[in-house]
């Protein structure tokens, strides 16, 4: 039995989600825009799913726009807000300013870079050593022409939670729009858009990080916030996102949102956090030279980012894979070469430290037995790699 510790990359589909989607791949195939009975059935299913997602986030169903996932939601938020300013202000020579952070997912960072190439001024806030950005830094970065602030809720590599409620309040007082990428937070932590996050204007979620299928997601757009669409076509999603809806995917996302609500209400995060803490403290005790990145930050309950002195993360992940453990590293693979993680570098780690860091992320299906097995296997694999390393060093420098 494999041990899956890569839930931040993608979560397994829950059986209830598969069952909920199933009819919409067979007899329930109608186009939700069709007026006939088949269309009305799928329209009703899409709207039920919208209500489920809205209930998870404590907003109204009309504020939910279904998308193809986190990447589209992030791009839609950034480009959708700033496009009208590009059209109006930049054409008249007036500056437009965007603030984000340098620990965002590339879906935000590269969208910001593309906007920068089109003339938008971009400021990236830097995190502290624990991977958390500060409200004071945001306040200092705001300019009269700051139109949008985008700060993620939980980081995908370290799990570090950003003070989004506070940052959104500051942004609102300044008169700018606030977006948060909650892809790694929704369905792991309570996200209340009418309470703690009432000043958040836009919020991205992704289906495949919350036990629904890949290629599904949503953007919360608070009532009154206007976005330019990314796509042109039909009047779907109240003119905000053209294209026939992915009905099975949306139904799966709705089901996953209902399951997440129950899981959150039944102390799921506490149980997950206890397993994560057992894994983390067990590894720190058993592996010499190991330390946890972002250990001093409030974190998503499922994520461990472990730095292991002298270990090449890529080699370790291959060795773990051979032993039946799926994990990941806080690094991006670009053109076949492993780049040190931009998140860990931003936190002040050296490239070598970033290259010796791995990410272990639990899912709701991770069991205590998985953690016990991982605690036996991972230290042994690391010890073996270290011994191989010593042998290689001895043979090259006899
Ligand atoms: N934002 C964050 C924080 C993520 O972790 C991811 C995916 O890893 C995305 C955005 C992109 O989401 P998707 O894969 O649904 O496009």
Q: What is the DSSP string of 20-52?
A: HHGGGGTT----TT-SSHHHHHHHHHHHHHHHH
Q: Is 347 helix (H, G, I), strand (E, B) or coil?
A: coil
Among 6, 7, 10, 71, the mutation site with the greatest number of ligand 1 atoms within 8 A of its Cβ is 71
pLDDT at 330: 62
Report the run of H or E that residue 359 belongs to, with start and end.
strand 357-361
pLDDT at 334: 47
The two beta strands, 202-206 and 97-101, are unpaired
pLDDT at 93: 85
Extents of the domains making up the chain: 3-10+267-396, 15-263
Atom of ligand 1 nearest to the CA of 217: 15
Ligand 1 within 6 A of CB of 69: yes
Ligand 1 within 6 A of CB of 70: yes
pLDDT(333) > 60: no
pLDDT(398) > 70: no
Query: What is the pLDDT of the chain when averaged over all its residues?
Result: 95
Q: Which two tokens stand for residue 50?
A: 């919208």
DSSP letter assigned to residue 238: H
Distance 74 CA to ligand 1 centre (A): 9
Residues 109, 114, 116, 120, Cα dihedral to 10°? -100
Closest by Cα among 266, 256, 276, 161 to 206: 256
Among 104, 156, 302, the mutation site with the greatest number of ligand 1 atoms within 8 A of its Cβ is 156
pTM for the whole thing? 0.96
pLDDT digits (tens, 9 = 90+) for 232-291: 999 999 999 999 999 999 999 999 999 999 999 999 999 999 999 999 999 999 999 999
pLDDT at 172: 98
pLDDT at 337: 56
Model confidence band, residue 181 (pLDDT cutoffs 50, 70, 90): very high
pLDDT(127) > 80: yes
Mean pLDDT of 71-86: 96
pLDDT(1) > 80: yes
Mean pLDDT of 311-324: 96
pLDDT at 277: 98
pLDDT at 335: 45
Q: Is residue 243 within 8 Å of residue 233, measured between CB atoms?
A: yes
pLDDT at 92: 85
pLDDT digits (tens, 9 = 90+) for 204-214: 999 999 999 99
Ligand 1 within 6 A of CB of 152: yes
**CA-atom Rg of the chain in angstroms:** 22
Q: Which residues partner with 178 through β-bridges?
A: 149
Q: Which two tokens stand for residue 280?
A: 């983390």
What distance in Å separates the CA atoms of residue 68 and residue 309, rounded to the nearest whole number?
39
CB burial of 141-157 (b: ≥16 within 10 Å; e: otherwise) equals bbeeebbbbbbbbbbbb
pLDDT(331) > 70: no
Model confidence band, residue 390 (pLDDT cutoffs 50, 70, 90): confident
Task: Give yes or no on whether 3-10+267-396 and 15-263 have one common fold.
Answer: no
255 carries an active-site annotation: no
| Options 3.30.70.1560, 3.90.1150.10, 3.30.465.10, 3.40.50.10490; CATH of 3-10+267-396 | 3.90.1150.10
Per DSSP, the chain holds a count of helices (H) and strands (E) of 13, 15
Q: How far is CA 283 from CA 54, 125, 199, 279, in A?
A: 38, 32, 39, 6
The two beta strands, 331-334 and 337-340, are antiparallel
What distance in Å separates the CA atoms of residue 189 and residue 132, rounded to the nearest whole number?
17
The two beta strands, 121-125 and 97-101, are parallel
Distance 241 CA to ligand 1 centre (A): 19
Atom 10 in ligand 1: which residue has the minimum CA distance? 70
Domain 15-263 has CATH 3.40.640.10: yes
**Segment among 85-94, 188-197, 276-285 with least mean pLDDT:** 85-94
Q: Is residue 185 within 8 Å of residue 161, measured between CB atoms?
A: yes
**Segment among 29-38, 45-54, 94-103, 325-334 with least mean pLDDT:** 325-334
């Amino acid at each position: 039995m494999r041990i899956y510790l890569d839930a931040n990359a993608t979560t397994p589909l829950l059986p209830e989600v598969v069952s909920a989607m199933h009819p919409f791949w067979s007899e329930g195939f109608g186009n939700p825009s069709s007026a006939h009975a088949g269309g009305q059935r799928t329209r009703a299913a899409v709207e039920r799913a919208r209500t489920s997602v809205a209930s998870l986030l404590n907003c109204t169903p009309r504020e939910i726009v279904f998308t193809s996932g986190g990447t589209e939601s992030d791009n839609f938020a950034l480009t959708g807000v700033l496009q009208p300013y590009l059209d109006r202000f930049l054409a008249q020579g007036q500056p437009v300013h965007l603030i984000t952070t340098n620990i965002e997912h590339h879906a935000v960072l590269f969208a910001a870079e593309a906007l920068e190439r089109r003339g938008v001024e971009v400021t990236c806030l830097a995190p502290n050593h624990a991977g958390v950005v500060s409200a004071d830094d945001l306040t200092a970065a705001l300019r009269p022409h700051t139109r949008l602030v985008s700060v993620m809720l939980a980081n995908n590599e370290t799990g570090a939670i950003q003070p989004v409620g506070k940052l959104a309040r500051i942004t609102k007082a300044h008169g700018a729009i606030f977006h948060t990428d909650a892809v790694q937070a929704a369905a792991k932590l309570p996200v209340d858009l009418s309470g703690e996050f009432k000043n958040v204007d836009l919020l991205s979620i992704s289906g495949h990080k919350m036990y629904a299928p890949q290629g599904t997601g949503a953007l919360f757009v608070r009532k009154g916030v206007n976005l330019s669409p990314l796509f042109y076509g039909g009047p779907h999603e109240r003119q905000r996102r053209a294209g026939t809806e992915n009905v099975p995917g949306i139904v799966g996302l709705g089901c996953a949102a209902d399951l997440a609500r129950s899981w959150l209400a039944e102390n799921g995060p506490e149980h997950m956090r206890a397993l994560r803490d057992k894994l983390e403290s067990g590894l720190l005790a058993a592996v010499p030279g190991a330390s946890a990145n972002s250990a001093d930050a409030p974190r998503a309950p499922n994520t461990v980012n472990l730095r292991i002195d002298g270990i090449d993360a890529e080699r370790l992940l291959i060795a773990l894979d051979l032993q039946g453990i799926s994990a990941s590293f806080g690094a991006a693979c670009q053109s076949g070469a492993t780049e040190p993680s931009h998140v860990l570098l931003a936190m002040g780690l050296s490239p070598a430290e970033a290259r010796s860091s791995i990410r272990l992320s639990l899912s709701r299906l991770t069991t205590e037995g998985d953690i016990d097995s991982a605690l036996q296997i991972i230290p042994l694999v690391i010890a073996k790699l270290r011994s191989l390393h010593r042998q290689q060093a001895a043979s090259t420098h006899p």
